[in-house]
Structure 1
Amino acid sequence: MRNSSNTSEALRALRQVADLPCPPGLPLLGNLHQIITRKQHLTLERWAADLGTPYRLRICGKPIIVWTDAELCQAISRERPHRYRRFAPLETVLEEMGCNGLFSVEGVAWEPQRKLVMQALSIPNIKSFYPTLHDITQRLHARWQRAAARGTTVEMTEDFKRYTVDITSALAFGEDPRTLDAEGSVIQEPLALILPTVMSRTNTPFPYWRYLKLPRDRRVEQALTELHRYVRQLMQRARERMQNEPTEHPRHFLEAMLRLRDTPGSGLSDDQVAANVFTLLLAGEDTTANSLSWTLLYATQAPLQQRLADTARAALGTHTVCPDYAGLKALDLFEAVCTEASRFRPVAAVSTFEPLEDVCLQNVQIPAGTTMFFLSRPSMQDERHFAEPQTFDVERWLRERDAHSGAHDPRAYLQFGAGPRVCPGRHLANVQMRLALSMLFANFDVELMIDPAQIKETSAFTMMPDTVPVRLTERRRPTSSLNA
């Protein structure tokens, strides 16, 4: 009887989802009108500060639980894909857009695709690819050199997107689109419409676009048609090269995917190959470019800019771009600046999960299929995880672990996710950050042409700056430079 009584008391002590605090909303709609905006992450963070976490939202009667606990996010990430999955509507929306690739695919389809992406983005593969990385960074330098000579203002997010798309395409698909050499329309323009649409459609309770096409939906359809044509042409050219120039091993990710697709019993279709090409284009363009752009808000400030310039010049010598892969090690400062900038401005501001079974998390009973949002920034701005969290301090990422004064918990830094589905492109992203920023500060003085406080954070699936305009002035370099 005593055990039964204890069990009953324990059950009564558990909270239900309906017991969690909830911000006020509207009848029927709940909080829908407050989160389907491009400031969604800021609204969620404000409610977390006001209500504490976990709290809940109501979207047309459906609850969403919001957390800020980094340790819990890490634990859930480790239990994917067998116990948790991403927000289910994300997969549905991406499926109908033809881009349900590795990022969103669930179940048995995930593992073979993950293996190929991990191989394509592995450290040995990126190391062997370094000469191409160097050449594309050299083209970025030439583009900025022209802008400096003209005295024009450069919108850095756009240039960084050209840079990352050229790199992703060359590495993963065997073709360099050379968007850095182009002016005007490039593949980034239709790409820019996709992620904001994914965000709005996954948060919309009724799929109106299947029945009524608004002007923005027609623009998205046109962009998707253009992008899918581009992807299919990539695939066709890759097949022709495989036939005309056969090799024992695939030369890049796209060839590996096509070989797997043609293996009897693979269960992989051309549509799935195309979806993964699409996914890599989106991921390669968006996240790294936005991280680089946010970094400039801090890196352009004195005296940090001078320190970056001195470090880059010492590492690069007479070269415009870091000449070899080994030389990247001398550029730890640049990765530290990017990491610290991301602690303040996380590109992945919100992560979404659903349990595949009923679970109990932090004394809350959560039914299977309940949507859960995890906010990245609050844990990275928590003094329990990082000492003096409101201070921009690159040294916290450069000191040895035992030399830290105060809290420093890298597990609270969730920019690349965690668990089995941690971002496979994190090493490539770090290499691009070191390369692009060291080239920038070694060769140019960078003046931000707007008060940083006026730059707005925008939710477009990833969190991006609305503008990062800069003016570039060439630095004097050694006259003996061979510009290797």
Structure 2
Amino acid sequence: MNPSLSLPRTAPRTLHDLPSPPALPLIGHLHRLDPTRMHLQLEAWAREFGGAYRLRLANRDVLVFDDPELAHAVLRDRPKTISRAGMIRPIFAELGIDGVFAAEGDDWLPQRRLIMQSLNVTHFRSFFPTIQRITARLLRRWQRAAERGEVLEMTQELIRYTVDVTSALSFGEDPNTIEQPGNVIQDHLASIFPAIMKRTMMPFPLWHWLKLPADRRLDRDLKVVHAYAHERIARARERLRDDPAEGPRNALEAMLLEVDRPGSGFDDRSVVANVLTLLLGGEDTTAHSLAWTLLYLAQDPALQRRLHAQACLALGDDAVCAAHEQVRELDAFEALATEAMRLRPVVAFLGLEAREPTEVGGIHLPVGTRLFFLNRPAQVDERRFARPQVYDPSRWSRAVAPADGAHDARAFLQFGAGPRVCPGRHLAGVEMRLVLSMLLKHFEVELACRPDEIEELLHFTLTPSRMPVRLRLRRNAAPAPRAAAKPARSCPFGHG
């Protein structure tokens, strides 16, 4: 038993000492949980039962809690006594995407090193021109839409952007889904996270015996996605073979060099799993965080005007952020997304599992007990954040927050904590800063529906059901840069 996860209590308890909603025999609470909206039900029960309660999913007990200090203790201890291996790894392995995100135990650290070494090779300073180019491309697309008075479905717009950025980082190839209509890789990625969410909540793998239309679609999409990855592995190997002195230019090439070292313990399957993990994680979470940000921006014209002035000041005559050194001047724009994530957490809850008997918060957990940590309750708690229901990005300014009441930054766990903190958090921050500074310099943002028509859907990440937006051009913004001529061999790291 691990006492380090215990918070002081008068006496130890078991899960059966905790309150629990009424359940049915055999299935427990499964009949109450719609996978696409289960976060709302879990949060409602947390309000009813005071933040910690017992859930029953068929034959498995779940501890549901919302204490961020307890979450920090649990996350620091991973993967020793608490992990998510039994909960999601079999599903991820079946789909061929069991990279660093799904790895636990002895497998995790080597995969983490593989990912971090491959990302270090890219050096953000040399990768920045690619993000800038893709942001300028998005600006041109949005300017054309604004001139025509079109309503844009911004979730899809932003996913196209993040797919282009993450593909360039991962594969060294820019698929240009922003300008390429029709059947793009993004369309095939879209079914994966909803399928994972649904399968995670099933008490047994029904899809092994009965494939529904959604399962068959997933199989088709996975076939395309894996073929996409294998094609790029073949190209990367060819490039490394033809020009070995140049070294790796992207995450994929760095992974392949590591995999090919004698005794590495990795193979091409590990590479596919990890580059697809980068692609899925990078496109989904950042795009949805930005989409939720637009919901709040569109309802606050005064905030838009203030940030427009800041964007003009920070960017000067440039249409988009022109240099890596400028990124640090765009804190206020990342704060817009951080505040949106506080109210609409893209990671609605974190699912874990006890690998051995342990205590969490003074509650004894047998092996196999699941834990759901709910992110939002603490993030909208007035004891932790002043005026918690108010969208106020200035609370994330170091100069403002301490003097403006409660501000418990430790309660914000959207990128995780401990050794498993998200390796892509820096990339996400850069994308948020570039997109939002570009958007607010050039456009007024107007929601093309009522805010209450936008629902929260849980597709592994928290997704808006829709985000229709009309953009209006501002008169005093700089023109969009012209598209550069496409080089004969595309590379985001300046090698031509």
Query: TM-score, length-normalised on structure 2?
Result: 0.92
- Kept in 2, the 8 Å contact 1:64–1:373? The answer is yes
Aligned to 2:346: 347
Secondary structure of the 1:287 match is helix
CA distance in 1: counterparts of 2:20 and 2:142, whole angstroms: 49
Mapped pair 1:222 → 2:220: yes
Paired positions, count: 475
Q: 1:11 to 1:350 in 2, by over 3 A?
A: closer
One-letter code of the match for 1:339?
T
Q: Distance in 2 between matches of 1:445 and 1:233?
A: 41
CA pair 261-120 structure 1, distance change in 2 beyond 3 A: closer
Partner of 2:436: 437
Residue equivalent to 1:5: none
| Offset at residue 184 of structure 1 (A) | 2.2
Partner of 1:4: none
Specify the code of the residue in structure 1 equivalent to 2:225: L
Amino acid at match of 1:128: S
**Alpha-carbon separation, structure 2, partners of 1:131 and 1:415:** 27
Aligned to 2:175: 177
TM-score by length of 1: 0.94
The Cα shift of 1:37 comes to 2.4
Q: 1:126 to 1:479 in 2, by over 3 A?
A: closer
1:35 pairs with 30, 33, 36, which one? Answer: 33
Conservation of the 8 A alpha-carbon contact between 2:394 and 2:401: no
* Percent identity of equivalent pairs: 50
Residue in structure 1 matched with residue 126 of structure 2 by the alignment = 128
- Residue 472 of structure 2 is matched in structure 1 by 473
Once the two structures are overlaid, the 10-residue window that deviates more, 401-410 or 233-242, is 401-410
Work out the CA distance in 1 between the residues paired with 2:266 and 2:119: 21
State whether residues 319 and 483 of structure 1, in contact with CA within 8 Å, keep that contact through their aligned partners in structure 2: no
Matches within 5 A, 1:144-155: 144-155=142-153
Which residue is 2:326 aligned to? 327
Secondary structure of the corresponding residue to residue 292 of structure 2: helix
Structure 1 residue 47 corresponds to structure 2 residue 45:
yes
Structure 2 distance, partners of 1:290, 1:479, is 27
1:155-234 matches, cutoff 5 A: 155-234=153-232
Task: Give the direction of change, closer, same or farther, for the CA distance of 1:476–1:266 in structure 2 (3 Å limit).
Answer: same
SS in 2 for 1:471: strand
1:411 maps to which residue?
A: 410
2:9/2:362 contact within 8 Å kept? no
Q: Which moved more, 1:351-360 or 1:153-162?
A: 351-360
Counterpart pick for 1:14 among 12, 32, 35: 12
CA deviation profile, 1:78-113 (whole Å, cap 9, x unmatched) = 111222211513000010111101111112222222
Distance 2:268 2:119 in 1: 21
- Please say if residues 319 and 478 of structure 2, whose CA atoms lie closer than 8 Å, have aligned partners that are also in contact: no
Q: How does 1:253-272 map to 2 (within 5 A)?
A: 253-272=251-270
Query: How far off its partner does 1:368 sit?
Result: 2.1
Contact 2:401 2:407 in 1 (8 A): no
Which sections of structure 1, spanning at least 5 residues, go unmatched? 1-9
Q: Distance in 1 between matches of 2:395 and 2:401?
A: 11
Query: 1:438 is paired with a residue of what secondary structure?
Result: helix
Structure 1 residue 122, shift from structure 2 partner: 4.9
Structure 2 CA distance, aligned partners of 1:58 and 1:481? 55
Q: Aligned partner of 1:183: which letter?
A: P
State the distance in 2 between where 1:152 and 1:291 align: 22
The 3-state SS of whatever aligns with 1:180 is coil
- Superposition pairs for residues 61-76 of structure 1, below 5 Å? 61-76=59-74
Question: C-alpha separation between the residues in 1 aligned to 2:42 and 2:328?
Answer: 38
Aligned match of 1:92: 90
Is the deviation greater in 381-390 or in 410-419?
Answer: 381-390
Give yes or no for contact 1:36–1:204 (8 Å, CA) kept in 2.
no
Compare 160-169 and 52-61 and name the one that shifted more.
52-61
| Post-superposition CA distance 1:403-437 (Å, at most 9, x none) | 42321111100110100000011011000000011
2: CA distance between counterparts of 1:482 and 1:423?
33
Question: Residue 365 of structure 1 aligns to which amino acid in structure 2?
Answer: H
- Range with greater deviation from structure 2 (11-20 or 39-48): 11-20
Structure 2 residue aligned with 1:314: 313
Q: CA RMSD in A?
A: 2.0
CA distance in 2, matches of 1:483, 1:175: 20
Aligned mates of 1:120, 1:150 — CA distance in 2: 42
Q: Distance in 2 between matches of 1:188 and 1:482?
A: 25
Distance 1:242 1:364, change over 3 A: same
**2:373 aligns to what SS in structure 1?**
strand
Residue equivalent to 2:486: none
